[in-house]
Structure 1
Amino acid sequence: MRNERQTDKVALGIRRRVFEHAIRNNGGYLSQACSAAEQLAWLYNEELNLGAPTLPLIPKPFEGVPSPGNPDYHTGAGYNGPSTPEFDRLFIAPAHYALVAYATLIEVGRMAPEGLEMFNQDGSSVEMIGAEHSPGMEVHNGTLGIGLSTASGLAYGRRLRGDTGRTWVFMSDGEVQEGQTWEAVQACAHHGIDNVLAMMDVNDQQCDGAMSSVMEVGDIRTKFLNFGAACVEIDGHDLNAMRDAVHEPHDGKPLIILARTNPFHTMSILEERFPRLHYVRFKSEVERARFNTSIAADLGVDPVDYTH
């Protein structure tokens, strides 16, 4: 799907689904929807060259781990279409963005809405922390800093094989605290792996709080440049900036797009919880109702009826 006029609507739909889920389930990954909705909407609705899904719109249950005796095993990559030479591949590195990723798949017609009702249910493949069998996922990356390495290795293999499709990775800024991220960049620069591209959600917060309180990372754009990448820093809520950034020349280098974002963008009430926004659980029914009313007003949608 490549309809620029629809991308804003996809981003709003992502946030609405995550908001509704969080209110009904008394908590959820709200801030990740705030920061990443435009990025994932742009990737899926405009930029990625993907084939039609190869897995059922309603996800199958977890069918076990890979083994010679398990012919039913599958990864969730089929929701992104076939892994054939001409198509792009996408890795979701921060597995805790899974709820946002599932909402994106629904908004672009790659997964049925019923799939989100299976979220974090026993026996379901729609995992709370996305695993390799979860919709849209191909490997389990953490966030442990291995997403860019995974994508880079695949991109190198695809180049050697002559594939024309690109390899994308969606990342979060906490991954720059891991050494493997920088090793991956160096390897790409050394081997001229320029068919790997990364979109990084730089929202300055992580599981244990503000990035700066966990480990100060400094000027990450300069670091990426020094390690051999091409790197562009943009407003991560500006779709036109993404459209321009992807055309940054990067012959012989990986392209890293640093998308600076606000983790309470379009859900202003979340600011009162910053920087403890990794997973927002409501402390009382009064707070749940207050968040429901406030976020609905910000998004321009109806409050969620969660009393049934």
Structure 2
Amino acid sequence: MTLTNQKTTEDIALGIRRRVFFHTMKHNGGYLSQACSAAESLALLYNELLTLGAPTLPKVPLPFRGVPSAHNPDAFTGAGYHGPFAPEYDRFFISPAHYALVIYSALIETGRMDENALDHFNKDGGSVEMIGAEHSPGMEVTTGSLAQGLSMAAGVAWARKRRQEPGKVWVYMSDGEFQEGQTWECLAAIAYHGIDNLRVIVDVNRQQCDGAMSSVLDLGDLAARVSSFGVTCRSVDGHDLDALRLAANSAEPEKPLVILANTSPFQGMNFLKKRFPRLHYVRFKSAEERLEMQAALAAELGIDPAQIEGA
């Protein structure tokens, strides 16, 4: 990291959850459970694991300037918040675009984006979108429909390996992407080509839009299935920072590294368990329901409810 950050990784993880909570309460809904499951792994990535330069985009996000093309010199990608492209720096691909709010919060907590950047969230003409696109902060490419991010990152990693660049390529995925055939095709390819500069962290929270994954399309023993392709696969507690650190440093020569971060979609906000498995997007049916959840979650997160704007 080239940015000086006085926060611990634990503090950043808590800050991510608090920031997404504030936003969800203010806007009567949000991707709240993703902050519960992903906070530790994203905090660790941005604060310890990724080698990134200083951001090349303003801390206050720019408005949308059109899609990249040879005829649009003003276009940009959100990868600018990860710093410049250079051989010594890592690249970071966010595959589940609906985690955008959590990514924005991580960028703010680590000093890469302005404290008030979420004021631009989901505004017409803005780049801070609810579902991240290539111009959204932290996003290098458009990755929806799900399961496209790994393949695009793999291509970049293969090219960097052939150029003998020291920087790694990291990918953040959700477990739902293993319900897509493209993910398995990519695993076969990266193992066959020995793309060992590729690092993948998967948020295994076992939930999706339609409910628990076990009720939609169960993945079975995901660790065994992933390992069978010939990659190095580590399955760990996704809320245990020491376990994540050990896994991140356990890569083997000529093998991509896949870390299955087993997580809870209500970690740090146990009140959400009442809604499980309907947690993909949290919205309130009444003012009473919102106030009940606001009070319960604020207490769990150590927040004074009176501080919540618009409460």
Same fold by TM (over 0.5)? yes
* CA distance in structure 2 between the partners assigned to 1:4 and 1:36 by the alignment: 21
Identity among equivalent pairs (%): 60
How big is the shift at 1:296? 0.6
Task: Give the corresponding residue for 1:197.
Answer: 199
What is residue 233 of structure 1 aligned with on the other side? 235
Structure 2 residue runs without a partner (length 5+)? none
Structure 2 Cα separation of the partners of residues 193 and 165 of structure 1: 13
Give me the whole-angstrom Cα distance separating, in 2, the residues matched to 1:182 and 1:251: 21
Which residue in 1 is equivalent to 2:254?
252
Is structure 2 residue 249 aligned with structure 1 residue 263?
no
User: Among residues 21, 24, 33, which one is paired with 1:22 in the alignment?
Assistant: 24
1:69 Cα deviation (Å)? 2.2
RMSD: 1.4
Which residue in the other structure is 2:43 paired with? Answer: 41
Query: Match of 2:127, as an amino acid?
Result: S
Other-structure match for 2:115: 113
Q: Deviations over 1:57-113 (max 9, x none)?
A: 000000011222211001000000011110001001000000000000000000002
Instruction: Report the secondary structure of 2:72's partner residue.
Output: coil
Point out 4+ residue stretches in structure 1 off by more than 4 angstroms: 1-5
Contact 2:95 2:149 in 1 (8 A): yes
Shift of the alpha carbon at 1:42? Answer: 0.2
SS of the equivalent of 1:121 reads coil
Partners of 1:91 and 1:151 within 8 A in 2: yes
Counterparts of 2:25 and 2:11, CA distance in 1: 21
Structure 2 residue matching 1:113: 3-state secondary structure: coil
Give 1:1-308 correspondences, 5 Å limit.
1=1, 6-303=8-305, 304-307=307-310
Separation in structure 1 between the aligned mates of residue 207 and residue 310 of structure 2, nearest angstrom: 32
Q: Whole-Å Cα distance in 2 between the matches of residues 63 and 285 of structure 1?
A: 37
1:5 offset after TM fit, Å? 6.8
Instruction: Using the TM superposition, give the Cα deviation of residue 130 of structure 1 relative to its aligned residue in structure 2, in angstroms.
Output: 0.3
Deviation at 1:307, TM superposition (A): 3.5
Partner Cα separation in structure 2 for residue 195 and residue 156 of structure 1: 8
Q: Deviations over 1:115-160 (max 9, x none)?
A: 1111111111001000000000000112521111111111000111
Separation (CA, whole Å) in 1 of partners of 2:253 and 2:145: 28
Q: Give, in whole Å, the separation in 1 of the partners of 2:16 and 2:6.
A: 16
Shift of 1:25: 0.3
How far apart are the structure 2 equivalents of 1:80 and 1:171?
18
One-letter amino acid of the structure 1 residue matched with residue 60 of structure 2 = I
Where 2:8 maps in the other structure, the secondary structure is helix
Distance 1:4 1:152, change over 3 A: farther
Deviation at 1:4, TM superposition (A): 9.7
The whole-number CA distance in structure 1 between the counterparts of 2:154 and 2:252 is 15
Q: Is the 8 Å Cα contact of residues 207 and 276 (structure 1) preserved in structure 2? A: yes
- Size of the aligned set, in residue pairs, is 308
- Is contact 1:27-1:279 (8 Å) kept? yes
- C-alpha distance in 2, partners of 1:147/1:223? 20
Measured against aligned partners, the alpha-carbon deviations of 1:228-285 in whole angstroms (never above 9, x if no partner) come to: 1100000000000011101224211110000000100111111111111111001111
CA contact (8 A) 1:35 1:203 kept: yes
- For the Cα contact (< 8 Å) 2:5–2:110, is it kept in 1? no
Q: Which runs of 5+ in 1 are unaligned?
A: none
Q: CA 1:4 to 1:249, structure 2 compared with 1: closer, same or farther past 3 Å?
A: farther
Cα distance change, pair 48–4 in 1 and its aligned pair in 2 (3 A): farther
Contact 1:118–1:126 (CA<8 Å) still a contact in 2? Answer: yes
In structure 2, how many angstroms separate the alpha carbons of the residues matched to 1:200 and 1:143? 17
- Indicate if the aligned counterparts of 2:96 and 2:174 stay in contact, CA closer than 8 A: yes
Contact 2:87–2:167, Cα closer than 8 Å, also in 1: yes
Contact 1:3 1:46 (C-alpha < 8 Å) held by counterparts: no
TM-score, scaled to structure 2:
0.96
- CA deviations 1:160-195 (Å, max 9, x no partner) are 112110000000000111111111111111111110
Q: How far, CA to CA, are the matches of 1:60 and 1:3 in structure 2?
A: 24
